[in-house]
Every structure is written in structure tokens, then in C-alpha cells.
Chain A
């Protein structure tokens, strides 16, 4: 009897340990794609778009339509933001359980494709450029193979307050760097104590790297030399950073710390800035904070110009993990998310620019002036990324730019150091 009890206890222990290990290891994989050609399986989607409750509602509605089309596919969604995307990707890959479908930004494909983390999609560039804007097809390609299909574009260009410009008798937005500085100085307002109440030009509310890069491109600079070496310290790049430094330190058209992302609204919407380098979806933020400005057409847009017009262009692409257990189901979801219906819903929710050419005439684009402006100027759009080490390099831009804006380093010194770091990251591989 005792022996029996002991055996039972031992068996329970083994069963418990087994159950715990099975739980810890994530349990058995669901069924493969079925042999009869039907797409099936349980797949996981990681998305940095569809943020918040509204985003979740939009995606769930779209996934309902996907389920109708593919009843044997179950999609488990992990919502995140671009700020946390790295962590999710790293931990899922390191844990041996990568997401089947991963939505990524422009510049992310080479780092992951180069290391074999992404599955090649059954698409050709020739076909894609017929359906999508070419500007966002290219970032999904690495070494002539397609790894990502575009869902949306996002752009950075100049935004200005038409009413503030009109009050000051300025009839047009700046057409070069000198005019940008001059208008900035003219529209800057400080109170009697010298406290800034309106920035003539706001270069701090947008991500600093994504503000610097369009200025650099507009000044004729490039991210890389022809042989693929960093060119962030070229005279054109230094000139762009010098412009930013002059706006803050010489013209005092904005004070460092004037805006605090996350704690205040957009200065342009509040009338605390006359113009800014901003994101196309800032129009959505303005519409929420001060709807009358959009209604009364008080927000204007301009391309950043000096040597040439330029606009920063990013985007979101859908990719499939090379280790997906259900590649057919994952690829079906990628196609679904990048098709008209889901893509339009995503762009509307995020205030972005559709990648599909067929959506250029959609009601959404017609009603969103920022999206229209971006689409009209895509010929002058430039993208970041391009090398597998980009994700390591891009994080160093902010501190380098800040060090120049704060006067801790000259623009040349700051960019020389940034270039040296980038070279080291590329050499490390």
C-alpha cells in the first residue's frame, strides 16, 4: 500500500514536472498547412501599427474578414508600438518562437533578411511596382528578393500655420534654408521676460533623426557614399545640422526643451509654433486638438528645400518569419493586410499614406490633405536604412544631434563621431 502511495506520489511529481516543462516550452505546435491546398494553422502577428483601443478595433474587424476568407487560420495578435518593436522581435527570435507575421518599418528589412530571419515572399519587383508606390516597394527588397509587402507610407515635411503667416504678411512657406531661418526669426515671439511663447520654427517636436535627415537630403546630402560607407559627416550633412543648431542657438527661434513629447500637445496646433518639420499624421493630431484649424484650412504643407526638395519617407511593411510553422497561412495574412480593404483601414486609423496605387483616389486620401501632399511629392522622397547594421546605427543619431544643438560639440564633431560609430557597427557586422 505504502509503495503504491509512493509510486503515485512519484508519478504525480513526474506528471507535474512534465506539465510545467510543456507549459514553459509553449506546448505542441498546431497543425501544419493541410495537404489539400487549404491554408490552415494558428499564426501569430506582431504589429506596431493599430495602436490603442481604436487600432485594435480596426484590426479585429479586418481579421474577422480574414477569418471568413480563411476559416482554418487562427490569428493571435500581439499589439506593440515602434518603440517596443525591437524588444518583441529580439525576445521572440531568441526564444525560438518568432512571430509568423511581423510588421516592420522601412530600414528594418535588410538587418533581418541578411541574417535569414525573414522568408522570401512569392512576389516579383516588376509585379509589385504595378500595384504599389515604387518608393515603398524598394525597402521591402533585399539583394533582389522580396521580403516585405508595403501597407503604408509615412512622410516628414514642413507644416505651417497659414493664419500666422498671413498675420505677419508672409505669403509663402520657405523655399530654402535662408528663408526658413528668416521666417523663423520673424515669427518667433517671446514675452517681456524673454520666455518663448511661440517658436518661429519647431524642429524638436518631431523625432530628431527624422527631422535631420530630410534637411540633409534637401541640402544635397546622402546617407551613404556610392561604395556603401557612411556619409553622415559630408559637408551637406554638416550644413543641415548647422541649420538646426543655428535655429536653436543663434536665431533662438526655438528653445531646447520647448516641447516635451508625451506631456504636451503639438505646439503648432496650440499656436505655440508657426511652422515645424513634422509627420503627415500630425494633421490627425491637429484635427483632434484643434479641429477648427483643419476645418478652416489653416494648416499648410511645404517641401523642405535648399539644393533640392526633399521629404523623409518611411513606411510599414508586412513580413513572414523564415521559421514560421505555417508559411502559407502567414503569407495569406500578409497579402490580406496589404490589400485594399485592410490597407485603407490601417491608413485611415493612423492618418498615413496608402502604399497601394489604387487607393490614391480613395475618399480617405481625398479628405486628407497631408496624405495628398505626400503622394504628390513622393518623387522627392528619401528613405533611411539600406545596410544590415542600420538598426544599431540609427539609435546614435539622437544623442549626436542633441550634442550639437546644446553646443556641446560642433556639428562637424558630432557627425564625425556618429560616422565613426556607424563605421564600427558596420565593421562588426
Chain B
């Protein structure tokens, strides 16, 4: 025992003068940490930092990408893009797309989440099935939907034919192209929202439902008075993330309705930025458009943070 204590005290004594060694090791560890971080930092600076700074800079210049010349342009690019009907139309289309995809997809997702939170057979299979569109490549999904929307041989018009309705040319008709894109986007977006709602539903104390049962509350009353209010934090999160996603929609619009759709009926902001940069070679105007999109997203993010932050405080 003594020897043990001695050995402990010896060990303690021998540890006493060690702080410099720990500092040295700390410095080494810091260096190792910096070394480990270096690839990520370089990646961030190279692929995100520099392009972001360049975008801000180029938005105020006239950059001729082919000739390689840059001239100061001040606010000319912003004046030019806001004088462009198609850009203004693309903002409106983006707002319309967001307005219809976000709340509708959220409403469907919450209902599906509630249903899949019940003890039903093959529940895991259903959950996987609803989540599948989210993890499937958008281009592959869009191509399949393109076939379904085909006016003469597509599934939708065949079904409509059976009930005596002449279906529209979904993707070629300017009145139907945007609804068709919205439909695909809602279908694709439900999975992730459902997953978040499912996680949130599982955090609602079961006792609340038991108490409601004792009070004789009906299913809908329990849903509106217990479930929905307690899903508020998840709803805020889903709402903000979906809004930001909707403002950045590109791939399904691009594949389903190339060239901005019939008569620009599905031209959204991201597509217009792409077209300006690579169709018109006007990188500076595209950067100005990107900054406008960035401003939209920044405002949405700030609103989202405020709302979710406040909600977190209350919780």
C-alpha cells in the first residue's frame, strides 16, 4: 500500500515539472490540427471563398470572359438586369414556385409523417418509399416525369383519356409547364420534410394524447390542438430550409423544360443566371443576378434564424 502511495507520489512528483512538455505537445497538436484542417481550409478558400469574393467584385464590372478584359461598371449591371423583363419574370416565377411548393409540400409531409408515426404494417417500407425521391438523382426523376407528362403517349394523358378528358401538353403549354414542374418538385421534396416531421413527432410526449383521450378528444382535435402546435419548431426549420431550396431550384426545371420552358413560362432565377452567364457570356450581369438571389436568401436566412432562435428560447 505504502509502496503504491509512494509510487503515486513519485509519479505525481515526476509529473509536476511537465507543464512545458504539455505546452510543447499542445503546440504540436495545434500544428497537427492545422495540418489536418489545411485541405478543408484550402478547399473552402479555393472553391467557395475566392468565387464568392469574385462574384461580388465582378457584379460591379464589365468582365468580357472571352477577351479577358475587366472594366469598372458601378451599378450598370444591376440597372441592366432590372430593366430586363425576363429577369423580372424569373423573380416572379421563383416566388410563385416557392409559394406553391413550400406550403403544399409541408402540409402533405406533415400528414404523411403523422400517418407513418402510427403502428401500421410495413411502416419502415413506406417511410423508405416516401424518402426515396429525395435521394434519387433529380435528373433521373425529371426524365421519368418527362415521359409521364408526354402529351400523346404519357401516363397522365392516358389516364385522362380514360375519363374522356383531352390532357394538355403539360411541358409545352405555357399554362401547364409551371404547374407540372411544381408537381414534380412537391413530390420530390416531401421525403425530407416528412423525415424531419417524423423525428419531431417522436419527441411529443405520449401522455398528452392519453390525457386528450381521457377528455374524449377526437382525432382531428388532437392533431390541431396537440400535434401541430408541438411541431412548431420543426415547422419553422422545414419552412426556412424549403424556402431557401425553392429559391435555388434549377435541375428539375432545366431538365423538364429546357430553355426556360415555352415562352419563358418556367424561367426561374437560377436558370436565368445560368443563361446569362453561359448563353450570353455576360458573366458580370450573371454575378449581379447572383447577388440579387443571395440577397433574397440572406433575408430568408435571417428571418429563419430569428424565428427558430426565438422559438428555441421559448422552449
A interface residues (Cβ-Cβ under 8 A, vs B): 2, 5-6, 9-10, 12-13, 16-17, 20-21, 24, 83, 86-87, 90, 93-94, 111-112, 115-117, 193-195, 255-264, 272, 391-392, 395, 398-399, 402-403, 406, 408, 425
- Whether A257 touches B38, Cβ cut-off 8 Å, given contacts A10-B31, A90-B65, A193-B166, is no
Q: How far is the CA of A395 from the CA of B152 in the complex (A)?
A: 28
- Interface size for B (C-beta < 8 A) is 48
Contact B24 A115 (CB under 8 A): no
Residue from B153, B170, B260, B281 whose CB has the most chain A CB atoms within 10 Å: B281
- Whether A257 touches B259, Cβ cut-off 8 Å, given contacts A16-B38, A115-B67, is no
CB-CB nearest in chain B for A12: B35
Task: Give residues 154-169 of B contacting A (CB, 8 Å).
Answer: 154, 164, 166, 168-169
Q: Which 10 A-B pairs have the closest CB atoms?
A: A257-B169, A257-B172, A115-B67, A115-B66, A402-B263, A392-B280, A87-B278, A263-B150, A395-B279, A86-B278
The minimal Cβ–Cβ distance linking A412 to chain B, given in whole angstroms, is 17
The minimal Cβ–Cβ distance linking A418 to chain B, given in whole angstroms, is 12
- Whether A257 touches B168, Cβ cut-off 8 Å, given contacts A16-B39, A93-B66, is yes
Which chain B positions have C-beta within 8 A of A86?
278-279, 281
Chain A to chain B contacts (Cβ below 8 Å), 26 pairs:
A6-B28, A12-B35, A13-B31, A13-B38, A83-B258, A86-B278, A86-B279, A90-B281, A90-B283, A115-B64, A117-B67, A255-B169, A258-B152, A258-B169, A258-B172, A260-B146, A260-B150, A261-B258, A263-B147, A263-B149, A263-B150, A263-B171, A264-B150, A392-B282, A395-B275, A402-B263
Which chain A positions have C-beta within 8 A of B280?
391-392, 395, 425
Contact A403 B151 (CB under 8 A): no
Contact A9 B262 (CB under 8 A): no
Which chain A positions have C-beta within 8 A of B154?
263
Which chain B positions have C-beta within 8 A of A94?
65, 283
CB-CB nearest in chain A for B169: A257
Contact A24 B46 (CB under 8 A): yes
Contact B67 A408 (CB under 8 A): no
The minimal Cβ–Cβ distance linking A323 to chain B, given in whole angstroms, is 9
Contact B169 A264 (CB under 8 A): no
Contact A116 B67 (CB under 8 A): yes
The minimal Cβ–Cβ distance linking A16 to chain B, given in whole angstroms, is 6
Contact B46 A406 (CB under 8 A): no
The minimal Cβ–Cβ distance linking B71 to chain A, given in whole angstroms, is 11
- State whether the Cβ of B34 lies closer than 8 Å to any Cβ in chain A: yes
Task: Give residues 262-286 of B contacting A (CB, 8 Å).
Answer: 262-264, 275, 277-283
Task: Give residues 170-184 of B contacting A (CB, 8 Å).
Answer: 170-174
The minimal Cβ–Cβ distance linking B42 to chain A, given in whole angstroms, is 5
Residue from B28, B150, B151, B166 whose CB has the most chain A CB atoms within 10 Å: B151
Contact B67 A258 (CB under 8 A): no
Which chain B positions have C-beta within 8 A of A20?
38-39, 42
Which chain A positions have C-beta within 8 A of B279?
86, 391-392, 395
Contact B34 A13 (CB under 8 A): yes
The minimal Cβ–Cβ distance linking A148 to chain B, given in whole angstroms, is 15
Set A256, A259, A264, A395: member contacting B262, Cβ < 8 A? A256
